[in-house]
Amino acid sequence: MSIVPVTAGSDHYDVLIGPLADSAERLRTISWGRRLLVVTEPKVWALHGEKLEAAVCCTPVFVPEGEDAKQWPHLQELVAAFAGHNLDRKRPVIAFGGGSVGDLTGLAAGLFKRGLPVVHVPTSLLAQADSAVGGKTAIDAEGQKNLVGLFHQPALVLADPALTLTLDHRQLLAGYAEVVKYGLIDDPDFFTWCEANGPALLAGELALRGEAVTRCVAAKARFVAADVEDRTGVRALLNLGHTFGHAIESAAGLGVVLHGEAVALGTVLAFDFSAQLGLCAADDAARVRRHFAAAGLPTTLTATPLDRAALLPLMGADKKNEGGRLRLVLTRGIGQAFLSDGVESGRLAAFLERAA
């Protein structure tokens, strides 16, 4: 078991990475012996619900699988379920599933009675390595990713890498893209580690999954502690590949291209654009593309069915933009991401028109 402490302003919590059974005591303590509501989806509950029930007394509330959960009607349904069970501000709700369940549940918990404690028990690689930590919550709206949300830090995160063994390969790969992101942002040694260990991690080597999750969570904790609510540009680096990526998800129709797939392709585009601007060596961009492609992740816009003309306006609506200026995470090389302020939209438009 490894434990990563997170400090986010006045919030402090632990992320426990290891078997769920070994974390049961922490869950029981936080539940004060009361039955907890678990927000989950039918597939995850059928596969792993028993393990959670063995750890804590709980009742499931179901939302749809995947990105479809992140919609207004399901937020309303959760609020109705919380009210129906008369949850109070001391009774935590559990988010048990991938990042979509976590984002929706975190938002509902943050809004209900102005804030219920939420415990994340992430079941996908993406959610364990990234989304369960840091307190970003959201639903999609008006065709845009994560348009409506708030910051609501969890009270506890329990990540059991063994749960990820039942993920289908496409979902696993999508999570791997966010893992690799942490090397590309500011940890070139971790990217080299991914090049060496990625294939075995993806093949099911649990110790490697645990190590990757621990390294990503520790890195995320650093960015979150430095800039809890994404205001100073430090946390924005976690958005590497996401300005392109979120636009790709929206332009393809939400849920068609998986978030992690869009992040992989978006990261390749961020490196290519940086190389084209003379910021980063073309060899680094090629190395990143090679790694994602070898894993089986999408690396070309041409192979992705979407409305290319929609990308620029969608990128113009990104949350990082300020005062009409496009702000984009670019890079000077592997492990050297930075937030670029005032990207020229003409250059970006020309790049997007021609990108492979």
136 is in an annotated binding site: yes
Given candidates 41, 77, 140, 178, which one binds ligand LNCXM5UN under the rule CB under 6 A? 178
Q: What are phi and psi of 34, to 5 degrees?
A: -95, 155
Q: Looking at 31, 40, 105, 131, which residue binds ligand NAD (CB under 6 A)?
A: 131
242 and 329 in contact (C-beta within 8 Å)? Answer: yes
Over the window 60 to 79, marking each residue x when it contacts ligand NAD by CB under 6 A and - when it does not, the resulting string is -----xxx--x---------
10 labeled binding residue: no
Binding of ligand LNCXM5UN by 235 (CB under 6 A):
yes
Q: What is d(CA 160, CA 304) in angstroms, rounded to the nearest whole number?
A: 33
Per CB under 6 A, 74 contacts ligand LNCXM5UN: no
Tell me which residue of 89, 90, 87 sits closest to 29, measured CA to CA: 90
* 3-class DSSP assignment, residue 12: strand
Six-digit token pair at 134?
A: 């840091």
Quote the CA–CA distance of 172 and 156 in Å, as a whole number: 23
User: What is the three-class DSSP state of 322?
Assistant: strand
Q: Which residues pair with 224 in a beta bridge?
A: none
Closest approach, Cβ 259 to ligand LNCXM5UN, in A, equals 6
Question: What amino acid occupies position 353?
Answer: E
**Is residue 43 annotated as involved in ligand binding?**
no
DSSP E strand stretches across the chain: 2-8, 11-17, 36-40, 58-62, 93-97, 118-122, 136-141, 144-151, 156-159, 326-331, 337-343
| 68 labelled binding-site residue | yes
Q: Which amino acid is at 80?
A: A
Residue 345 assigned as binding residue: no
- Cα torsion for 257, 262, 264, 267, to the nearest 10°? 160
Reported as half-sphere exposure (CB side, CA atoms, 13 A), residue 331 has a value of 33
CB of 47 to ligand NAD, least distance (A): 5
Binding partner at 239 among ligand NAD, ligand LNCXM5UN, none, C-beta below 5 to 8 Å by kind:
ligand LNCXM5UN
Report, in Å, the least distance between residue 134 CB and ligand LNCXM5UN: 4
When asked if residue 120 is in the footprint of ligand LNCXM5UN (CB under 6 A), the reply is: no
The only residue of 16, 27, 111, 163 in contact with ligand NAD, by rule CB under 6 A: 163
Give the residue, chosen from 27, 110, 130, 267, that forms a contact with ligand NAD under the rule CB under 6 A.
Answer: 130
Separation of alpha carbons 318 and 325, rounded Å:
10
Query: Which structure tokens are listed for 213?
Result: 């999750």
Q: What minimum distance in Å lies between the beta carbon of 252 and ligand LNCXM5UN? A: 16
CA angle (265, 330, 327) in 5-degree steps: 105
Which residue, 114 or 169, is less far from ligand NAD as judged by CB? 169
Partner that binds at residue 41, options ligand LNCXM5UN, ligand NAD, none, CB closer than 5 to 8 Å by kind: ligand NAD
**Under the criterion CB under 6 A, does residue 136 sit at the interface with ligand LNCXM5UN?**
yes
Q: Which does 241 bind (CB under 5 to 8 A by kind): ligand NAD, ligand LNCXM5UN, none?
A: none
Asked if residue 247 lies in contact with residue 314, where contact means CB atoms within 8 angstroms, the answer is: yes
Closest CA to 198 of 182, 185, 222: 182
Answer yes or no: is 124 a known binding residue: yes
Pick 27 or 126: Cβ nearer ligand NAD = 126
Per rule CB under 6 A, is residue 152 in the interface with ligand LNCXM5UN? Answer: no
Binding residues (CB under 6 A) for ligand NAD: these are: 41, 43-44, 47, 65-67, 70, 97-101, 103, 123-124, 126-127, 130-131, 134, 136, 146, 163-164, 166-167, 171, 174-175, 178, 259-260
Binding residues (CB under 6 A) for ligand LNCXM5UN: these are: 130, 134, 136, 138, 146, 178, 230, 235, 238-239, 242, 319
